[in-house]
Structure 1
Amino acid sequence: MRLSIGIGLGVVLLGSSVLGYEVKTPPLDTDWTYKVGTDPWPEYPRPLLQRSRWQSLNGVWKWRPASGLDEARMAPLNETLTQDVLVPSCLESGLSGVQELNVTYAWFDREFQVPRGWSAHNQRFIINFEAVDYEATVFINGRKAGFHRGGYWHFSVDATEFVNFKGTNKLLESPVQVFVFDPTDMEGYNIPHGKQVRNPSHIFYRPCTGIWQTVWMESVPTSFITRLDIAAGMDGQVDMTVLSSGASESVSVSVLDDSGNVVASHDATSNEPFSFVVDSPQLWSPDSPTLYNLTVSMGGDEVTSYTGFRTISSGEVNGVLRPLLNGKFLFQFGTLDQGFWPDGLYTPPNREAMVYDLKVLKDLGANMLRKHIKVENALFYQACDQMGLLLIQDMPSMKDDSVKYVPTDAEQAEFERQFELLINQHKSYPSIATWIVYNEGWGQYRDGRTPEIGLTARAKELDPTRLVDSTSGWYDHGAGDWHDNHHYANPQCGSKFYSAIEQLNSSPYDPSRIAIQGEFGGIGHNISEQHLWKVQAAINTINQTYEINEDLDAYNYRGHLLMSELLDQVKMYSCSGAVWTQTTDVEGEVNGFLTYDRRFLRLDKKQWKADIQALYDAAHARGGYAMTEMF
């Protein structure tokens, strides 16, 4: 079957032949670049809703650019595409085999066979897309079958009535086509796009266009489970909703421990919230990330999932408002995690590479990371669940200058719609502890309107089990659970001092909210040309790094000094968490713990482990969680 996807500003078609595909040499590679092969990301892509009958559609597809949005009106039938592209990947990346910049419209095409048995009576055939940037219009047999907008969210198309189950089907010509449009930050568009820009410069990076997460198909009954909302608390109560494609039906839920023993079961009805209790569960935490498996049955459908029992809340501890995990104050320390790769851009080369970053952070003793204005694939969140890393999850931002780019009512409404998608598609991952609405005012009104207040309330309505950081950085109007300070030269976390620079619109610490240093550090060091993103425009911006250290001794000394200041603020003031910039270098930034290629760790590990542990010890002395050494 050939699957065709048009990308609004560039059309791409994917084919099954591997002839002609090869990795394009990127400006910088990694140890995984040339190990990806032509069967990338073979893992089941949605671990929270897993079925036995599925098949990956990743691999070598065909593609071509498109001329404009007019091509979205009709599928390009009777056309053979000849250019190869690897899916999933970004067209701008070396891994794609394309590495073309500023593609706006494209078609993708791939042929595949529908597996035997999938055409049985009362079965549906679903094609799933984990993420396509930015708009996708789906056609099946020349008829429009679906449309999706938003570059970070998964969506599905029911192809049952349009495919030929007796032989090879062409998703573009017959039966499915998808047209995709990706404006990124083009003039006249203000959409959630995070750090992606068409003209990268320092803290803004090369964009991602196309099918950048897994495409796959599955066979489901006529009435099937579409989503599981799961929240398991420290008291053992499980609050669930089993959403289904049709009318409400009876469902059965079983909870199993890691030995496969059923520890609880419950019968309920789909599309209605219900609760039950697991007696004395082992709790999930960074130093003990215990997970339980779930089996959910509804009619002829059965899926597996998992959860972790933990409670995220806030409360006063010794006179200071604190973030609580399972009823105890947990000081949170981690990095600003951009999630960019030199070979795949938005798409990591493979799961091993993706998890490598998390292992480095865990080994240092970090118990948290802030996923910065990007949303990852489901396996990333599963890995954090399994490894015990709390997540502060950002909403991908609109343009960063909301004086020049004031969101229209329609753009604001679209941002808010996608913010709800972020929460609904991710609220069942135990590791996510906080949602961030706005980063440093990007896309936030400056004219007195305060949508973050309503969005904070909406987040609490959709997901009452987590905290909300309404404005990370500045333009703070008092909303949310966190008072979030950004200051790179030195931390100002819950302290009696702050930067009153008008352009930053910083504000004094608000003791009615939890204090966090949402970004700080950012000290840089240029290792060598060997580890640099070899794009001259990026190299030219290295000196825009907040601070450059000439050697690693200076880098580690400065890091220790800043961490010592933060430690004082944990001891003396009300600091409850901190986010160091950043996990890795990215393009023109050289301020990562790791270089962009992940081949060099700048840190004096012994020093940094001790400095991180000292934060936990200081918090413990003030009534906090007794963090054991996690390394």
Structure 2
Amino acid sequence: MKVIFLFLGALLLYHTAGAVIDYHRVPPYEAPTTYTVQKPPLDTPWTYRLGSNPWPEYPRPQLQREHWQNLNGIWKYRNATGPNEPPPWNQDLPHEVLVPSCLESALSGVQGEYTIHSWFSTNFTVPELWRDGRVLLNFGAVDYEAVIYINGQQIAINRGGYATFTIDVTDYVSTGDEPDAVNPIGKQTLQDPNHYFYTPCSGIWQSVWIEAAATEYVTRLDLSGDMNGQVTVNVHTLNSVSGNAEIRIRDRDQSATILAANPFKTNGEFIFTTGQVPKRWSPDSPVLYDVEIIVGGETIRSYMGFRTYENRNINGVYRPMLNGEFIFPFGTLDQGYWPDGIYVAPNRKAMTYDLNMLKAVGFNMVRKHIKVEPSLFYTACDELGLLVIQDMPSPRTGNRIEYSNCTRPPYLPNVDEQADFVDQLGRMVDQLKSHPSIFAWTIYNEGWGQLLTRQNGHYQEFDLVDLVRSRDPTRLISATSGWTDHGAGDFSDTHSYASPKCGTPFYKIPSPAYDPTRIAFQGEFGGIGHNLTDAHLWKVQDAIDTINQTYEINADLNSFNYRARQLLREFREQVELFDCSGGVWTQTTDVEGELNGLLSYDRRVLRVDLNVWRTEIQALYDAAAARGAMNYSIGEPVELELKNHL
């Protein structure tokens, strides 16, 4: 048996040198604290049900090993004075903290503010049965830069607040730079929270685990299957010995039935066709197949779905295609924020409650808005049949610097910062591309962090589209969702509130005019709101003061649903009359002072009249079918039982 001590220095978001912020709610060093859930400004039905064993599920279903140990739970923590503070060896960190969680969240037990630099520690025992192989330490995500020490030695540095990373710690258990000013951070903000930018998340905010691996072990698995049964697999390994591997694909409903079994070589693409045409994955039939990869003395479990996404000209109009048919994707803007966990859902049941609600209302898609979720989120979408438009988390946004003449120019990345953004974009695509539900990638949202000058005769988003396409040629790409559109990517993607303007000859500045050489898509619309009683509000005065900035506020739920019916019908007419091929309604839930969700921020109030919304959404799919789209039925009415998700 071996005991390991691990210290983690987690650096938050972006460099804030010179900022005048003097508020701290981090527990003082001299007052040790034991873990307890703090009282957040607003709780959810799951807040006080979490316990000390959060997220016990295996965190990475598409690359799963048999022998593993979950390190989630109570860790030790303290704030650090800065990036150059030496590791606190032989010191007992005074505070208990829940991992995974945002330090700013109530669930963490800290509920801190301005937690720029931090130390975390834990200890764990490596099972004796693992002694003949390799021991891998995995982090789902740490925001934003992590320095990892084990038993007195610095062993790794990882940069990127959304990237999963793995460290081979075998050799350490056998007996930084400061972040730049513009990092991919999505809607987090430290210095100027406002109506559309929210509480930040720092620390270890996704699962941590160790696992046993063979000497020749898999570091990444790329797996894709098209609608005709062509499989593309690339098994990336370390310490390759023979390079031999085998893939076995089984029908999930009939586990004894092997769809395909083929030997191949690792560390390179291997393409083959299954012996029979597989059942295809789609929103109304989300069929998944179990996969085994045998390599280097170990068996990796995974899964896949067979589907093909394309951009094709149909009768003079460019359409998104799924399995050879025009599909009309319609979903919500999904921020992925929680009042008790900030960036982290309290547990898997809470996370899937949101997704089940979307399916029940009638949506077939979700736009994951400038945030990367844990792998289990995408697995849930794979299983439920929800298409995913995955946004790249944006760099620090524009309109952040105010000069003496009161102008507020966009804050754009320098060369190093842009290189970091491009690196993180590639890592996101590599990390998520094996999930069959991912339908499209979004590179920039509304010009945030987007370079606006030509380089080598063209705009850089064209190069980024090429980069994403080279990493994943099987998906569609929205280069610039909203505006600042120079013609790159598959979509002519407009944002308009509250009314849609999708594929139409009219448009609203700064949204771009419709480009008929690409797919007409309404990247955001709706956004209508409805105020709530204090019991369901985020009880932070700055947020309450900005409620009236919501695009439209309706007096009551009857008027909210009446207005929604108007906008959905207007959207349907644009499908019938023009070239509209899909859209995104804002949004899944309220977030802090933004009261325009289908659900309240605490998930206790469902604003939608299910009969109204399901009728109008089905009519929308029917209108698209009349223009050549596949028939899509939202199915029989269902009850949204919150109690089943507690």
* CA deviation after TM superposition for structure 1 residue 212, in Å: 0.2
Work out whether residues 44 and 50 of structure 1, in 8 Å CA contact, stay in contact via their aligned partners in 2.
yes
Give the C-alpha shift of residue 90 in structure 1. Answer: 0.3
Deviation at 1:164, TM superposition (A): 4.7
Q: Are residues 1:145 and 2:155 paired?
A: yes
Residue aligned with 1:70, SS: coil
Q: Which residue of 1 aligns with 2:81?
A: 67
Partner residue in 2 for 1:493: 502
1:46 partner amino acid:
R
Q: Specify the alignment match of 1:543 in structure 2.
A: 548
Q: Which whole-Å CA distance do the structure 2 matches of 1:483 and 1:113 have between them?
A: 53
2:342 equivalent to 1:345 = yes
Once structures 1 and 2 are overlaid, which stretch shifts more, 573-582 or 448-457?
448-457
* 2:381 aligns with one of 384, 390, 395: 384
Matched, 1:567 2:572: yes
Query: What RMSD, in angstroms, separates the aligned Cα atoms of the two structures?
Result: 1.7
Q: Counterpart amino acid of 1:100?
A: G
Are 1:230 and 1:240, in contact at CA under 8 Å, matched by a contact in 2?
yes
Candidates 550, 558, 563, aligned match of 1:553: 558
- 2:128 is equivalent to residue 125 of structure 1: no
Secondary structure in structure 2 of the residue aligned to 1:241:
strand
Contact in 1 for aligned 2:521/2:581 (Cα 8 Å): yes
Once the two structures are superposed, what CA deviation does each residue of 1:129-155 show, in whole Å capped at 9, x if it has no partner?
A: 010000011223333211100000111
| Cα distance per residue 1:505-524 (max 9 Å; x no partner) | x3221111001100000001
1:294 aligns with 2:291: yes
Change in 2 beyond 3 A, CA 1:233/1:417 = same
Give the whole-Å Cα distance in 1 for the aligned partners of 2:635 and 2:218: 38
**Residue identity in the other structure for 1:299:** G
Task: Tell whether the 8 Å contact from 2:218 to 2:235 is kept in structure 1 after alignment.
Answer: yes
Where 2:172 maps in the other structure, the secondary structure is: coil
Task: Note if contact 1:133-1:180 (Cα within 8 Å) is conserved in structure 2.
Answer: no
**Equivalent residue number for residue 433 of structure 1:** 439
1:80-479 matched pairs, under 5 angstroms: 80-120=92-132, 123-164=133-174, 189-198=181-190, 199-247=192-240, 249-258=243-252, 259-260=254-255, 261-278=257-274, 279-401=276-398, 403-449=409-455, 450-479=459-488
Tell me if 1:48 matches 2:73. Answer: no
Aligned pair partner of 1:592 in 570, 590, 597: 597
Q: Is the 8 A contact 2:11 2:202 kept in 1?
A: no
Q: How big is the shift at 1:357?
A: 0.2
User: Which of 529, 533, 541 matches 1:528?
Assistant: 533
Counterpart-to-counterpart distance in 1, 2:330 and 2:57: 30
Which letter does structure 2 place at the counterpart of 1:2? F
Corresponding letter in the other structure for 1:265: A
User: What is the CA–CA distance in structure 1 between the aligned matches of 2:379 and 2:260, rounded to whole Å?
Assistant: 22
2:17 is aligned to none
Q: Which amino acid counterpart does residue 336 of structure 1 have in structure 2?
A: L
In the alignment, which residue of structure 1 is the partner of 2:489? 480
TM-score by length of 1: 0.93
Task: Give the Å deviation of 1:362.
Answer: 0.3
Q: Could you tell me how far 1:157 is from its partner in structure 2?
A: 1.3
CA distance in 2, matches of 1:200, 1:35: 29
Q: In structure 1, give the amino acid aligned to 2:90.
A: N
Deviation of 1:447 after TM superposition, in Å, equals 3.3
Could you list the per-position Cα deviations for residues 496-545 of structure 1 after superposition, in whole angstroms to 9, with x for gaps in the alignment?
A: 1111x3xx2x3221111001100000001012111100000100000000
Deviations 1:9-40 (A, max 9, x none): 69x99xxxx98211000110000111110000
- In structure 2, what is the Cα distance between the partners aligned to 1:226 and 1:466? 23
Distance (whole Å) between structure 2 residues aligned to residue 448 and residue 49 of structure 1: 40
Give 3-state SS (helix, strand or coil) of 1:162's partner. Answer: helix
Contact 2:482/2:512 (CA < 8 Å) preserved in 1?
Answer: no
Asked if 2 retains the 8 angstrom alpha-carbon contact of 1:333 and 1:367, the reply is yes
1:174: which partner in 2? none
Could you report, residue by residue, the CA deviation over 1:26-79 in whole angstroms, capped at 9, with x for unpaired residues? 1100001111100000000110000111000000000001111112xx432111
Report the Cα offset of residue 180 of structure 1.
9.9
Separation in 1 of the partners of 2:467 and 2:177? 30
Unaligned runs of 5+ in 1: 166-178
TM superposition shift of 1:605: 0.7
Report the Cα distance in structure 1 between the residues aligned to 2:265 and 2:570, rounded to whole angstroms. Answer: 54
Alpha-carbon distance in 2 for matches of 1:494, 1:86: 47
TM-score, normalised by the number of residues in structure 2? 0.91
Q: 1:303 to 1:485 in 2, by over 3 A?
A: same
Secondary structure of 1:316's aligned partner: strand
Aligned residues of 2:590 and 2:596 also touching (Cα < 8 A): yes
Structure 2: distance between partners of 1:19 and 1:99? 13
- Matches of 1:265 and 1:83, distance apart in 2: 51
Q: Show the counterpart of 1:20.
A: 34
Name the counterpart of 1:172.
Answer: none
Q: Distance in 2 between matches of 1:82 and 1:471?
A: 46
Q: Counterpart of 2:467 in 1: which secondary structure?
A: helix
Aligned partner of 2:581 in structure 1 is 576
- Which secondary structure does the structure 1 equivalent of 2:239 belong to? coil
The change in CA–CA distance for 1:143 and 1:111 in structure 2 (over 3 A counts) is closer
Is the counterpart of residue 4 in structure 1 residue 1 in structure 2? no
3-state SS of the aligned residue for 2:63?
A: coil
Of stretches 208-217 and 308-317 in structure 1, the one that deviates more from structure 2 is 308-317
Query: Which stretches of structure 1, 4 residues or longer, exceed 4 Å deviation after superposition?
Result: none
* Alpha-carbon distance between aligned partners in 2 of 1:180 and 1:377, rounded to the nearest angstrom: 26
Q: Tell me whether 1:35 sits opposite 2:31 in the alignment.
A: no
Query: Residues 134 and 180 of structure 1 are in contact (CA less than 8 Å); yes or no, is this contact kept in structure 2?
Result: no
User: d(CA) in 1 for partners of 2:53 and 2:151?
Assistant: 27
Describe the SS at the equivalent of 1:51. coil
CA offset digits 1:170-218 (Å, max 9, x no partner):
xxxxxxxxx897x6xxxx7111000000132111000000000000001
CA distance 1:531–1:353, shift in 2 (3 Å):
same
Task: Provide the rounded CA distance (Å) in 1 between the counterparts of 2:228 and 2:12.
Answer: 50
Partner of 2:20: none
User: Contact 1:8/1:68 (CA < 8 Å) preserved in 2?
Assistant: no
Q: Distance in 2 between the 1:630 and 1:328 partners? A: 20
Q: How big is each residue's C-alpha offset from its partner over 1:407-465, in whole Å with a ceiling of 9 and x where there is no partner? A: 10000010000000010001100000100000000001233452111000111111000
Matches of 1:566 and 1:387 in 2, distance apart? 25
Q: What secondary structure, in the 3-state scheme, does the structure 1 residue paired with 2:461 have?
A: helix
Aligned position for 1:626 = 631
Distance apart, 1:482 and its partner CA: 0.4
Residues 180 and 367 (structure 1 numbering): CA distance in 2 closer, same or farther, change over 3 Å?
A: farther
**Alignment identity in percent?**
52
d(CA) in 1 for partners of 2:207, 2:94: 22
Q: Distance in 2 between matches of 1:84 and 1:456?
A: 44
CA distance in 2, matches of 1:563, 1:218: 49
2-structure distance, mates of 1:19, 1:138? 24
Report the equivalent of 1:170.
Answer: none
Asked if the contact 1:318–1:622 (Cα under 8 Å) also holds between the matched residues in 2, the reply is no
